Copies of this chain bind each other. A is one copy, B any other.
Amino acid sequence: MENKKENFSEWYNEIVEISGLSDKRYPVKGMNVWLPYGMKIMREIDRIIRETVEVRGIEEVNFPVLITRDQLSVEFEHVKGFENQVYWVTKGGNDKLDVEMALRPTSEAAMYGMFALWIRSHTDLPLRIYQIVNVYRYETKHTRSFIRVREIHFFEAHTAHATFEESENQLLDYLEIWKKVSSELCIPYIVNKRPEWDKFPGAMYTLAGDTLVGGRSLQVATMHEYGTNFSKNYNITYLKDDGTHDYVNQTTFGMSERLLAAVIGIHGDDKGLILPPSIASVQVIIIIIPSENPEVKVYAHKVERMLREIGIRASIDDRDNYTPGFKYNEWEMKGVPLRIEIGEKEFIKNTVTFALRPTREKRTVPVEKISETLTILDEIKTILTNRAEEYMKNSIHELNDINEIAEVNGFLKVGWCGRKECSDKLEEKFGLGNLGIPYESNEKKKCIVCSKPGSIAVFSHSF
């Protein structure tokens, strides 16, 4: 297997392939096939997202994939931002369509005409919906599984509020949702306010959750404040108590299959995937050490039942034609967080032997304490979180001198005057992208390029 530290890209591609997450041999470039194992993990991620947003009253909807050119053209900045990466449907059967239609690159243009029909008075507000759908981007850049693809598994929440203040509060709620989702996936992050030129097309401003994968930043969540930018164009108004009409204030929140990319890239090692317990479709794999005694197998199945009864996704690998060693390797490669080994010894002593995937540590526990498996799974979550946070902490470098830049990787915190030309210089010279100002930071610092007064900003090599 490839070496993660030395050849991150090759290691990543290999792990996606051998662990059976996705197959990129599909004949359309950048459109990959989700294989059963990848689907199962993504379903668990979606489940966590659904549970987290629905408990807050954000409800699921599903809008059509096709957006007419008219719908898309309503907001100028928005259409300008996407028109070069939209797939167009122009024919139905053998007929040329009267109206060309885009495959949604995102759903503002699909939704907001309907918002104008749905929202009449302040009692219809807030309107808060989400959908989990595929979106389409005609990417010209190099594609990479789960990170840059042309068909993207996508979560998008859209809200409308009476006042700007309420929409600002919605963004705070998104940050809470993101905190919860990322914590289940053991993904550390920083939130940055993107520079003007890199905000979402049509937004007032954009906050992004950025994590670090293989030394490069990966944008895994974005939250946008639209204010009335869209509602003015889509004419989404509500009747106020005083009888006048006003435009609604809107926000959105997006996440995607990049969450899976982050899980692979952050936690995996040279033995394969490592899955946080919350999203592992098999949380505990039980492997039977071959024995003459038929009771061992019976005992293993009893343990499986006990685990399932306490809500753990446990499975037994009882294939006869593979050695335990082969099975260990296979399930380690697939990232199952916890293994239980059961052989003659365990059967006789009424114990089970655990092997923790992240540390490979082994532990033997009496079977009557099997419910401790839950604690061990929590412990694994903590190990993954701590390890990832440690890595990220060590990859944040605060620099004062432009000559130090070439030597380091990760998130570079440097002074920046706020002008695009200084940012561009760092990009040209070092290939660094400007992720913006850390959220709620007001640290002042001289610009590392021009030495004028500025603020701390975060730069990095990005996916």
What residues of B have a CB within 8 angstroms of the CB of A31 in the complex?
64-66
CB distance from A273 to the nearest CB of B (A): 18
Q: Is A28's CB under 8 angstroms from B68's CB? A: yes
Q: Is A93's CB under 8 angstroms from B32's CB? A: no
Binds B, one of A19-27, A183-191, A442-450: A19-27
Q: Does A88 contact B (CB under 8 A)?
A: yes
Q: Is A92's CB under 8 angstroms from B101's CB? A: no
Q: Is B87's CB under 8 angstroms from A94's CB? A: no
What residues of B have a CB within 8 angstroms of the CB of A84 in the complex?
93-94
Q: Which of B27, B40, B59 contacts A36 (CB 8 A)?
A: B59
Q: Is A93's CB under 8 angstroms from B89's CB? A: no
| Residue of chain B at shortest CB distance from A88 | B91
Q: Which of B27, B91, B153 contacts A90 (CB 8 A)?
A: B91
What residues of B have a CB within 8 angstroms of the CB of A117 in the complex?
23, 25
Q: Does A70 contact B (CB under 8 A)?
A: yes
Q: Does A129 contact B (CB under 8 A)?
A: yes
Q: A66–B110 Cα gap in the complex (Å)?
A: 20
Q: A94–B40 Cα gap in the complex (Å)?
A: 37
Annotate A4-46 by CB proximity to B: 1 below 8 A, 0 otherwise: 0000000000000000000101111001111110011001000
- 17 A-B pairs besides A28-B101, A66-B151, A83-B93 with CB distance below 8 A are A31-B66, A33-B61, A33-B63, A39-B61, A39-B62, A62-B153, A64-B151, A65-B103, A65-B134, A83-B94, A84-B94, A86-B92, A86-B93, A87-B92, A88-B92, A89-B90, A90-B90
